[in-house]
A and B are shown apart, each in its own frame.
Chain A
Amino acid sequence: MKIPLVGQPNSGKSTLFNAVAGFRSLTSNFAGTTVEYTRGQARVDGELLDLIDLPGIYSLAACTAVEKVTRDFLLNDDWDVIVNVVDASQLARSLELTLELLDLESPLVICLNMMDEASRKGMTIDAHELQMALGVPVVEAIGSRGRGIIETFRAAREYAARGGRARPFVYAPEAERLLAELAEKIAAHTNAQPQGALKTALAPVEDTEWNTQSGVEPVFTPPLRVHSCGGGHLCAGCSMGTPAVKAGHDAPLRSWAVVSPAVAADHEQHRYAESALAGLAVLPGQSSITLPASAARNFPRDRFQAMQWVQCDPLQIRGERPEIAEDVEWAQKSISAHSGLPADAAISAARHAACLSVFERVTRLARPSVDWREKIDRVAMHPVWGYVLLLTVFLGFFQLIFNVGKPAEDRILNLFDGVVAALARHMNPHAAVFAGVKGAVLGTAGALAMVLPYLLPFLAGLAILEDFGYLARAGYLMDAVMHRLGLHGTATLPILVGYGCSVPAVMATRLLTTRRDRFIAAFLAVLVPCSARMSVIFALVGFYLSANYALGIYALNLLVVAATGNLLARLWPEVSPGMLMEVPSYRLPAARVVALKTWWRLREFVLVAAPMLVAGSVVLSLVDYYGWSHGINVGLSPLTAMLGLPRSVGLTLIFGVLRKELSLMMLMQALGTTHVLGVMTDAQILIFTLFVTFYLPCMATLAAMMREVGWRLTLGASSALLVLAVVVCLGARGVLALV
């Protein structure tokens, strides 16, 4: 049985998944994208369940790549029952996605997770009442303590086995008629037969089957009615006189009446009365409209798609499905005409009102208890102490990684040097084969020396900060700064991570929604000196010149980052409207989730970057063997001459692309001495270091970038970085000449 897990970000989906699916789960990408999901298997009551942990989304609208693939997965793939994981402490907001899922009219079970957090917030949620309101099974859970998890999957199994199925919230008849008509038109264009998962759901459903599905307890209770009268008075028919709905009445909006699934025939009349009140009066001459739901019910996928398209941006529709654009726009106009709102706003307002009234029906609120979480935020989000803490946390973090990583790295490299020495004894050290093998061994050593000492603690630490909820606070604090760079607070993470290692930094740009933001963030993240470049800066400039010069390079780098960000933001003006980010509650990270997260990201590095490192190392080893280094130095001589560097450093710059700190080691080798000052002047050391800091990112980073933003932009970024490095170095040369 295949069970997709769908939920909003931070709903504890992964905790639930990892609690049962275990370490053997696989991450995969959706075909042709970098959006990931995780698959795993779990045995519940003797049956093997296939679990699919879909990425967290706030809605099914296809705005971002993540939402699009999730929606397409739900529409096109085969699965048996959805488990919708809901953060009980965010119930009102979470229900928005739940209501969209109901529209799929397929088997659905709700896992009401984080009940402990909800009660800490002073919320008492009546799960039974929620089950009544939504018409699908609701299971209470505290995922972090393993409670309710098995029960959730058991309920899902049973619900699917007995043929249970969610019913959508039904909009006012006028709206439903429009939707059904649009669905038909879209279907005619697509001319596709219903397929996939929903095949089972497509057979006409008899209401009798529906009402007696469990045989014991009717899942549905009286219909939920939200109506918006549009008039200033409180209408007598409004049984939902809750504050939220009243607020809706007062506000200048007229949303559609929404009625719950169970409505069926007996409430037909009431609904007509309501829709009239709602300003959705049945059009003259069409007073005999019958409920079109029968058609819609037979083709839930079509109704669902019609619903989704109606909420889309007309421009997007014209781009993606030009053949249906006209029909959708017609429907949108009709909806606007009836509701006085843009089509998407009308639908989401109606849905929102429904969410709030379900929320108010099932929840009782008391005073929240103030505990350590609130106290942390008083410091962590404070206008002064927040920044002090941010700086402390990240400096401490990098310090820790560097102190742990450096000795470990030396040991790994020594170990592999031993391997090469041993190989030299058993092979002909003058053969090309040996050069190749040596290159491969040293490449592997390089990859390992990067992964184990630096990347592993780095990714683990990052996963802890992320799961704890601190990264969101960092984004909040840095939003204003990031705006100067043409980005938002969400882009803080990649840039901070860039100071550690560019590879995870580039991978972290995946959090950003638009391609533009991803590109700018990745560009700036690789511009920031990573820890490998830091070692070059401190070992050359810091050692031979002074620590102040080294810090000066960092300051110069910050200026260049700011200027570049500003320039890029101008060249590629912003389309996204700004930061809108959930501030999650602090949560103690679960060791298991952190371990898995770290492992998956590490695995990705190994798959993407390590092959490049090994291959590059082999090539360079052969270059060395065949004595092409002279040719390369000559080839690069225009560059080295322009920068006023000795010709023999040309090759070290090529090595630097493989791994940044290699340019340091190779420099000593190329110059044939460890006393760099004897061969290079202060100015040359400074220029060389500046160039290494700014020019091309290392190969592993390039591979990661290629994956995230595509090869065109990677190529563009690389050329831009090369030009930038030359410009910076020439500028520095000019300044030095003056001094």
Chain B
Amino acid sequence: MRPITDLTPNLSLYEAEDSADLRILLITGGWQVRRSFNQMGIQTGDRVRVLRRAPFGGPVVIDNQGSQVAIGKQLAEKVQVEILP
């Protein structure tokens, strides 16, 4: 396992720039948050891309294995990602 320090600096899905290749490192939050992400087929380790975002703190749309999911700001901030080279 990679050292845990690799997780820093923290970058949330909401802050990540558009159309960069991202990998989900961690989904923080409780049971319900985890559950909602899992249901939509979004899990730690997945490679995703931010396609577009709504203005005024609206949701981001990500592409995950060909399926598009709109994620509200609060939830997107709970997803920690890293930028893949």
Contact = CB atoms under 8 A, between A and B. Distances in A.
A579 B61 contact: no
Given A477-B54, A479-B59, A579 B41 contact: no
Contact of A579 (B35, B44, B68, B71): B71
A480 interface: yes
B23 A251 contact: yes
A231 B2 CA distance: 8
A55 B32 CA distance: 21
Interface string B25-61: 1100101111111111101111100001011111101
Interface size class of chain B, counting residues whose CB lies under 8 Å from the partner chain? 35 or more
A23 B39 CA distance: 33
Contacts of A184: none
A387 to B, nearest CB: 9
Contacts of A260: none
A488 B38 CA distance: 20
Contacts of B47: 243-244, 247
A488 B59 CA distance: 10
A235 interface: no
Nearest to B76: A578
Given A89-B66, A93-B67, A489-B72, A59 B39 contact: yes
Contacts of B70: 472, 475-476, 479, 489, 579-583
Contacts of B36: 63, 577, 580
A232 B66 contact: no
B72 A479 contact: yes
B11 interface: no
Interface string A565-609: 000000000001111111100000000000000000000000000
Nearest to B26: A252
B67 to A, nearest CB: 5
B66 A348 contact: no
B74 interface: yes
B65 interface: yes
B40 A381 contact: no
B12 interface: no
A719 to B, nearest CB: 32
B67 A578 contact: no
B68 A582 contact: yes
A481 B56 contact: yes
A594 B46 CA distance: 36
A583 B61 contact: yes
A247 B45 contact: yes
Contacts of A53: none
Contacts of B78: 577
Interface string A51-66: 0000000110101000
A344 B67 contact: no
Nearest to B25: A251
Contact of B34 (A254, A345, A476, A579): A345
Interface string B1-28: 1101001000000000000000111100
Contacts of A105: none
Contacts of A666: none
A232 B1 CA distance: 4
Contact of A476 (B4, B59, B73): B59
A477 B29 CA distance: 25
A173 interface: no
A253 B4 CA distance: 11
Contacts of B56: 480-481
A313 B29 CA distance: 13
A381 B38 contact: no
Contacts of B32: 63, 313, 576-577
Contacts of B69: 580-583
Contacts of B74: 577-578
Given A251-B23, A344-B35, A582 B54 contact: no
Contacts of B43: 348-349, 352
B40 A93 contact: yes
Given A476-B59, A577-B74, A349 B44 contact: yes
B35 A63 contact: yes
Residue of A91, A243, A377, A581 most packed against chain B (CB within 10 A): A581
A480 B58 contact: yes
B5 to A, nearest CB: 11
B13 to A, nearest CB: 12
Interface string A89-102: 11111001000000
Nearest to B55: A383
Contacts of A116: none
Given A58-B39, A58-B40, A480-B57, A577 B66 contact: no
A577 B33 contact: yes
A459 B51 CA distance: 32
B2 to A, nearest CB: 6
Interface in A661-693: none
B68 A583 contact: yes
A92 B67 contact: yes
A244 B45 contact: yes
A580 B54 contact: no
B2 A250 contact: yes
**4 cross-chain pairs, A with B, having the tightest CB-CB distances, nearest first:** A93-B41, A578-B72, A579-B72, A251-B45
Given A93-B67, A251-B25, A578-B71, 6 more contacts: A252-B44, A344-B34, A359-B65, A377-B52, A475-B70, A489-B72
8 contacts: A96-B38, A253-B44, A313-B31, A348-B43, A352-B41, A472-B70, A476-B70, A582-B40
Interface of A: 58-59, 61, 63, 89-93, 96, 121, 123, 230-232, 243-244, 247-248, 250-254, 311, 313, 342, 344-345, 348-349, 352-353, 355-356, 359, 377, 381, 383, 386, 472, 475-477, 479-481, 483, 488-489, 576-583
